[in-house]
Amino acid sequence: MDPQTKITTTNANGARMTGEDRRLQILRVAMRLFSQRGFRGTTTKEIALAAGVSEAMVFRHFATKEQLYSAILDHKACLHETMDPLQVVAEAIARKDDAAVFEGLALDALNQHDCDPEFHRLLLHAALEEHELAQMFWEKFVKRVYRVLSKYIRARQRDGAMIDIEPFVVVRAFIGMIIHHSLNNNLWDRQQQLLKVSNQVAAREFTNILLHGVTRGSQSKSPSRRPSRRPGFRAVNARANGKRSNK
């Protein structure tokens, strides 16, 4: 193992670490290794070695590897609660500033992914391994964003500011742009040779694409004018099932 990856059990001043400090140290090391090798590919012995502690010390703080894995999510959930992206745009939601809502959410997400790429990778590993961590994060965080943002979109549709389309589709399209951009930067193109833009520019342009599209004709349409209702996904599904749908 690279000596530089080993973390000492003392702080910069040489003082002994408290039990909580050591617990957080083990947690951070475990998250790094899990993000690199996955849950099944990482042993508690490797975590202990990288953290500079005994394997018994790891089990003193975390009874099982599964408990350690779950503690990572709990730790991150606490951080997300103090940096709730929905709170970041709460004022924009209240004043119905569509551009500020979506741009603020996009920028916050992109900055979080840049600051914590290991957690991003860890969630991908968890999903591929079908570990409960991925589902826990989905239930605790992602679904909440979907619910709040789709509720906002429905309200703006009633105001006539947005076209009549399934809100969850809009949310997924928006989140898809953000996640794909982060995956490119954190996994495949870390040097950003294909596309190098700041998070501010990416957030602004993703928002512009979502709200206005990419064709010139779409820019000339007033966002407050609601077009005639078109058959939605329910109508399409009804026809596919041989049922009669309303037009």
pTM for the structure as a whole: 0.66
pLDDT tens, the chain, 247 aa long: 333 344 444 543 445 677 788 888 999 898 888 878 877 788 899 999 998 999 999 999 998 888 887 788 677 656 555 456 677 888 999 999 999 999 999 998 899 888 878 777 877 877 887 877 778 778 877 888 899 899 999 999 999 999 999 999 999 999 999 999 998 988 888 889 999 999 999 999 999 999 999 888 655 444 444 444 444 434 334 444 454 444 4
Pair of tokens at residue 195: 């596309």
Q: State the Cα torsion 120-109-144-161 to the nearest 10°.
A: -150
Tell me the residue type at 115. C
Question: By CB neighbour count within 10 A (0-12 exposed, 13-18 middle, 19+ buried), where does 70 fall?
Answer: middle
